[in-house]
Amino acid sequence: MAKEGADMTEETEYMIDRNAGKEAASVESPSNAKEMRAVVLAGFGGLNKLRVTRKAMPEPQDGEVKIRVKACGLNFLDLMVRQGNIDNPPKTPLVPGFECCGIVESVGENTQGFEIGDRVMAFMNYNAWAEVVCTPVDFVYKMPDEMMFAEAAAFSLNFVAAYMMLFEVASLREGMSVLVHSAGGAVGQAVAQLCSTVPNVTVFGIASCFKHASIKDSVTHLFDRNTDYIQEVKKISPDGVDIVLDCLCGENTGKSLSLLKPLGTYILYGASNMVTGETKSFFSFAKSWWQVEKVNPIKLYEENKVIAGFSLLNLLFKQGGCNLVKSVMDKLLSLYKQKKIRPLVDSLWALEEVKEAMQRIHDRGNIGKLILDVEKSPTPLMANDSTETSEAGEEEEEAEGDNDSKERMPFIH
Ligand X SMILES: NC(=O)c1ccc[n+]([C@@H]2O[C@H](COP(=O)([O-])OP(=O)(O)OC[C@H]3O[C@@H](n4cnc5c(N)ncnc54)[C@H](OP(=O)(O)O)[C@@H]3O)[C@@H](O)[C@H]2O)c1
Residues within the interface to ligand X (CB under 6 A): 75-77, 157-158, 161, 182, 184-188, 207-208, 211, 225, 247-248, 269-270, 272-273, 275, 310-312, 361-362, 364, 366
User: Nearest residue to ligand X, using CB?
Assistant: 185
Question: Phi, psi (5° rounding) for residue 273?
Answer: -60, -20
Pick between residue 111 and residue 182 the one whose CB is nearest to ligand X.
182
Distance CA 212, CA 205 (A): 10
Pick between residue 222 and residue 259 the one whose CB is nearest to ligand X.
222
CB of 76 to ligand X, least distance (A): 3
DSSP strand pairing (99-107 vs 119-123): antiparallel
CB of 25 to ligand X, least distance (A): 29
Distant-in-sequence, close-in-space partners of 133: CB < 8 Å, separation ≥ 6: 58, 66, 67, 69, 100, 102, 122, 124, 127
Determine contact, residues 130/37, Cβ cutoff 8 Å: yes
Pick between residue 103 and residue 215 the one whose CB is nearest to ligand X.
215
Distance CA 384, CA 356 (A): 14
Determine contact, residues 189/368, Cβ cutoff 8 Å: yes
CB of 167 to ligand X, least distance (A): 14
Residue 115's region, left for phi above 0, alpha for psi from -120 to 50, else beta, is beta
CB of 56 to ligand X, least distance (A): 29
Pick between residue 105 and residue 246 the one whose CB is nearest to ligand X.
246
CB of 288 to ligand X, least distance (A): 10
Distant-in-sequence, close-in-space partners of 64: CB < 8 Å, separation ≥ 6: 107, 108, 111, 134, 135, 136, 137
Pick between residue 114 and residue 167 the one whose CB is nearest to ligand X.
167
Pick between residue 143 and residue 275 the one whose CB is nearest to ligand X.
275
CB of 180 to ligand X, least distance (A): 10
Distance CA 23, CA 223 (A): 49
